[in-house]
Structure 1
């Protein structure tokens, strides 16, 4: 006798659920990929500007960290596409969805860090103000609220999982 299948509120098999979840995940990743790729492309051009050689050492360090974070975010957010391509047709879609979801979450954390350090660098160069970190911190808090706190609160409040 086969064990009962856990119901999800939809009339779908585990394979159908994995297909649906994969489609939803890829749509979400497309949004984040576009943003991180544009930001990363912009960051790569900064070093070739006339102003770059005159940056303070601290600003150069922030720039290097920002570029590395952007590269890591790009890798994590493109990772699900490569994962899918490598395992396609191997009947491991539920596991692929779990790994792609993890990669996407890591990519979003890295994207948040990239955006925060980009904002820090741009505002430091633009204003030379010692108050810049105090301006960047609330923006980071806003990102954390929008990207993590609200979704986690909603999940906890409206699901039993």
Structure 2
């Protein structure tokens, strides 16, 4: 008979240590998404100044305006955690700030799906046209949803009980 201590699960950390670790992980994740959305948004801002913009159909111009709006609000949501951290640093509210920043990041990812879908729809309509464009866009959106939300949530649910 052996006297082994029960195997511990999780980490042995204080609430503050956990908040510090989670903040570091969150900010790394946000950096990846921020870079992509900022490049996309910058590109979108230049489109209106191109000569071909005036030749776009009213529907394509409307899709463009929606895409720029989505890009702007997505940028706000994904930059929000940085601003939040800077404004509350040293105020002893890191666990609460991490929760709020996490929610902003999740909102940013949802908005990023919408921004990417809108941009893809516009680009494919202009580049190739055709009735298959909405279907192709929907297929890509489904792929994003699978990779960004379904698989992570499935993993969380499947392994949460262990």
Instruction: For 1:1-80, list aligned pairs within 5 A.
Output: 9-80=10-81
The answer on 1:122 being equivalent to 2:92 is: no
The answer on 1:113 being equivalent to 2:114 is: yes
TM-score with structure 1 setting the length: 0.94
Unaligned runs of 5+ in 1: 1-6
Distance 2:36 2:141 in 1: 16
Distance 1:30 1:126 in 2: 30
Shift of 1:76: 0.2
Counterpart in the other structure of 2:3: none
Structure 1: 4+ residue segments shifted above 3 A: none
The answer on 1:153 being equivalent to 2:158 is: no
Shift of 1:130: 1.9
Counterpart in the other structure of 1:3: none
RMSD of aligned Cα (Å): 1.3
Unaligned runs of 5+ in 2: 1-7
SS in 1 for 2:91: coil
Shift of 1:128: 2.0
Distance 1:132 1:58 in 2: 14
Structure with larger Rg: 2
Shift of 1:67: 0.3
Number of residue pairs matched?
155
Distance 1:128 1:140 in 2: 18
Shift of 1:160: 3.6
Shift of 1:93: 0.3
Distance 1:152 1:134 in 2: 25
Shift of 1:8: 6.5
